[in-house]
């Protein structure tokens, strides 16, 4: 990653801060208005998961370059309870707290790259990338 910023997530206002920072970085990278909205939505979803399931954690935002293209990296990291069954958690409609269960599968569809590493009792790290497409 070229440069990165870290936002501690421990309250709803931190989610708003992370969203705004995501939009700022996205704008600098030249993402379309629609993509900026997608980036903000994705940050909200993973930050809300941190707050709901782990109580606290962090969002790391950065710019990345690879083979002539550039994009945003969003990392959501916590030391919460972890996810015992990741394929199950990635299914549409699966929620352990009577939510819609659309957060993680929605985020995966909205981003170009998506990876979850999680260990029960240790925590969860979700790493996502979106590339800028020149027209």
Ligand X SMILES: Nc1ncnc2c1ncn2[C@@H]1O[C@H](COP(=O)(O)OP(=O)(O)OP(=O)(O)O)[C@@H](O)[C@H]1O
Q: Using CB distances below 5 to 8 A depending on partner kind, what does residue 14 bind out of Mg ion, ligand X, none?
A: none
Q: Which is nearer to ligand X, 62 or 105 (CB)?
A: 105
CA distance 7 to 119: 22
Q: Which is nearer to Mg ion, 49 or 124 (CB)?
A: 49
Residues between 4 and 63 with contacts to ligand X, criterion CB under 6 A: 45, 49-50, 53-54
Residue 82: how many other CB atoms lie within 10 Å: 17
Quote the Cα angle for 112-87-79, to 5°: 85
How many residues touch ligand X under the rule CB under 6 A: the total is 23
Q: Which is nearer to ligand X, 37 or 70 (CB)?
A: 37
Question: Is residue 84 involved in binding ligand X (CB under 6 A)?
Answer: no
Q: Using CB distances below 5 to 8 A depending on partner kind, what does residue 54 bind out of ligand X, Mg ion, none?
A: ligand X
- Letters for 59-98 (x = contact with Mg ion by CB under 5 A, - = none) are ----------------------------------------
- CA–CA distance from 123 to each of 27, 49, 72, 81 (Å)? 31, 12, 23, 6
Could you tell me the smallest distance in angstroms from the CB atom of residue 23 to ligand X?
A: 20
Binding site for ligand X (CB under 6 A): 45, 49-50, 53-54, 78, 80-83, 89, 94-97, 99-105, 124
């Amino acid at each position: 990653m070229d440069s990165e910023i870290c936002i501690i997530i421990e309250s709803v206002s931190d989610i708003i801060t992370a969203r705004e920072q995501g939009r700022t970085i996205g704008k600098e990278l030249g993402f379309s208005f629609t993509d900026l909205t997608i980036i903000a939505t994705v940050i909200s979803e993973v930050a809300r998961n941190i707050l709901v399931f782990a109580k606290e954690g962090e969002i790391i935002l950065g710019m990345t370059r690879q083979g002539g293209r550039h994009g945003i990296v969003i990392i959501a990291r916590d030391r919460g309870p972890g996810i015992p069954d990741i394929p199950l958690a990635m299914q549409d409609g699966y929620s352990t707290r009577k939510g819609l269960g659309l957060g993680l599968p929605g985020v995966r569809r909205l981003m170009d790259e998506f990876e979850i590493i999680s260990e029960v009792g240790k925590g969860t790290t979700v790493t996502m990338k979106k590339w800028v497409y020149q027209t």
